[in-house]
Amino acid sequence: MPRVSVIAQCYNHARFLVECLESVEAQTFRDFELIIVDDASTDDSVERIRDWVARRRPAARVLALAANHGVAGALNAALAATTGSLVIRVATDDIWHPALLDRLVAALDAAPAQAPMAFSDAACVDAESRDLGRRFIAMHRPGFVPRSGAMLDELAVGNFIPAPTVLMRKAALDAVGTFDARLMYEDWDMWLRLATRGPLVFVPEVLAQYRIVDGSLARTLFESPDAVTSTRLAQTHCLMAEKVLTFPVVHESGRRFWRTVHFENALKLFLRPESDRRPLRKGLRWYRSPRHVAVSMTASLGLPRTWVERVRGLARV
């Protein structure tokens, strides 16, 4: 069996996928299998993948999904096919440094057995693979420099780990479960779950290029979401908060952060035309602020929306 299972994940990446796959093939660490999963692309990605595999790596497996499963669903389908004791995934619009697997495998081998994953930093590039002059970690957490060790508290208040650099122990993945397909961002949730199991290993190098383009998740999800996306994002934030608030080892600062996140997004869902009261009801078990409790209690009692908005105004939230 191979030591590492590499999952290359594609959705409409025809323009970029060969550059990505070539960077995987160029790895100096050679003991890996390659599983390429295409999530029902509508461009000619599958044809390009099959052509590349036939020319460059005939042993690679191609999973061409007939229907779109979403990022987490497609990733879970590929995970089920892995045989390595270590797993890493890369979106086929990103690029690896040739030494990425070598550095990450060596770091994880040198770490305690309970360390579930290792990661590095990544450079941000544009559609033409030009360096944007930003590093992933600095972009998401200015001034923060990770150190190997317990990272749950740091991760609890924001994701700073670039997905294409994360090498995970398969045993740890099996222990925490599959990627959550209900969420719009599946990676942060997984890093948090893994961080509850042991120390994370940081390799202080830039070992990948993370592509940011007009259609990327970073832009469509967080910068200019439409109404449907905005609702799904609020639901995701609530689900994430409900998960983190059940972790027994998160520091109080992280709990305060997620109580606020839950309330703000539960209120957003309630104030939409559909007026979904369920998240505000559920939040009552975690809220500590009297203002949040007052609004949540009013909504939970089934009182008219105008009453809730009046209480919200009085509570100044």
Among the residues of the chain, which ranges form H helices?
A: 17-25, 45-56, 70-79, 100-110, 136-140, 152-155, 170-176, 186-195, 217-220, 227-244, 252-271, 278-283, 290-300, 305-315
Distance CA 196, CA 15 (A): 38
Per-residue pLDDT tens digits for 20-45: 999 999 999 999 999 999 999 999 99
182-193 pLDDT per residue, tens = 999 899 999 999
Q: What is the mean pLDDT of residues 81-108?
A: 98
> 135 — phi, psi (to 5°)?
-110, 145
The confidence score (pLDDT) of residue 28 equals: 98
284: pLDDT strictly greater than 60: yes
Query: Which pLDDT belongs to residue 53?
Result: 98
CA distances from 17 to 7, 38, 148 (A): 13, 11, 32
Higher pLDDT, 230 or 44: 44
The pLDDT of residue 93 is 96
At 130, is the pLDDT very low, low, confident or very high (cuts 50, 70, 90)? very high
Domains and CATH numbers, the chain: 4-215 (3.90.550.10), 227-315 (no CATH)
**Distance of alpha carbon 154 from alpha carbon 150, whole angstroms:** 9
pLDDT tens digits, 160-210: 999 999 999 999 999 999 999 999 989 999 999 999 999 999 999 999 999
